[in-house]
């Protein structure tokens, strides 16, 4: 068995349109590196100098890895990893009629 990784739309240009990928079980860091070998540039879109970029959340079975062991969080056979970009922006007066 393996881990299923759900690929968000912003990464699908790198994955040639693949919306999910299978990866060997392991920690999140190793899974991201493995996907980068399969899809060059994948890791650069997710990680920066300090690990996972601030505007990227990664979940293992619906649990945010930031509240677990971060990039060292283990994903086991049959688990699902979701990579979710944080959406922010807008105007503080968007609903004030201005």
Compute CA distances 17 → 8, 27, 58, 98, whole Å. 10, 25, 20, 40
* CATH label of the domain that carries residue 51: 3.10.20.30
> Is the residue at 93 inside a domain?
no
> Is the residue at 76 inside a domain?
yes
Beta strands 26-27 and 80-85: pairing type?
unpaired
- Long-range contacts of range 7-11, CB-CB < 8 Å, 24 or more positions apart? 7/83, 8/83, 8/84, 8/85, 10/45, 10/85, 11/39, 11/42, 11/45, 11/46, 11/83
Total residues found in the chain within this entry: 98
Residue range 44-78, pLDDT digits in tens: 999 988 789 999 999 999 999 999 999 999 999 99
Q: Is pLDDT at 88 greater than 90 in this prediction?
A: no
Domain of 50 in residue numbering reads as 3-85
Count of the separate structural domains present in the chain: 1
Q: Is pLDDT at 13 greater than 60 in this prediction?
A: yes
Residue range 16-54, pLDDT digits in tens: 999 999 999 999 999 999 999 999 999 999 998 878 999
pLDDT of residue 87: 81
> Is the residue at 92 inside a domain?
no
> Is the residue at 94 inside a domain?
no
């Amino acid at each position: 068995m393996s881990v299923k990784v759900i690929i968000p739309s912003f990464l699908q240009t790198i994955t040639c349109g693949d919306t999910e990928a299978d990866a060997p079980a392991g920690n999140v860091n190793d899974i991201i590196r493995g996907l980068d070998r399969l899809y060059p540039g994948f890791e650069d879109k997710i990680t920066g100098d300090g690990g996972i970029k601030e505007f990227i959340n990664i979940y293992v079975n619906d649990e945010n890895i930031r509240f677990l062991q971060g990039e060292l969080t283990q994903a086991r056979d049959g688990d699902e990893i979701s990579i979710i970009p944080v959406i922010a922006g807008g105007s503080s007066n968007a609903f004030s009629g201005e």
